[in-house]
Amino acid sequence: MTTSTSTCACGFTFGVADAGWSALLCPQCNTITAQQADDQLQRGYVANLWPYYPDVVVQLTGTDGNAFAVIAAVEQALRAAVGGGVADAFRDEAMKGSYDALLRTVMRWVEVH
């Protein structure tokens, strides 16, 4: 097993052991991160088991289902909880693709109720 570093979305870098996909908790901001041993793309979730920001909860049921309204609700929640850079990154990803892709993106980033 080798050791490398992982960098969280908050910018904190910490050492990790490479052993395939391993769920990691950032010691600075407590965000769940992941790292793949073969140095592929690092993401803020592991195999769709939880969102990047599980503490950010967005109520979508019973609200306007318009794509722009959904993006705005999630972006506002992320901006308030995590910061503008994360919210901007979400918006950029959310605006690519279909409505179904948007909903998958939302569920990948935040807890949806």
pLDDT of residue 10: 72
pLDDT of residue 25: 58
pLDDT of residue 40: 38
Query: Could you read off the pLDDT tens digit of each residue along the chain, which spans 113 residues?
Result: 445 666 776 777 666 544 444 445 565 665 655 443 333 344 444 444 568 888 999 999 888 889 999 999 999 999 999 988 889 999 999 999 899 999 989 998 999 99
Query: Which residues, 6 or more positions from 16, have their beta carbon under 8 angstroms from its beta carbon?
Result: 3, 4, 5, 6, 22, 24, 35
**C-alpha Rg value of the chain to the nearest Å:** 15
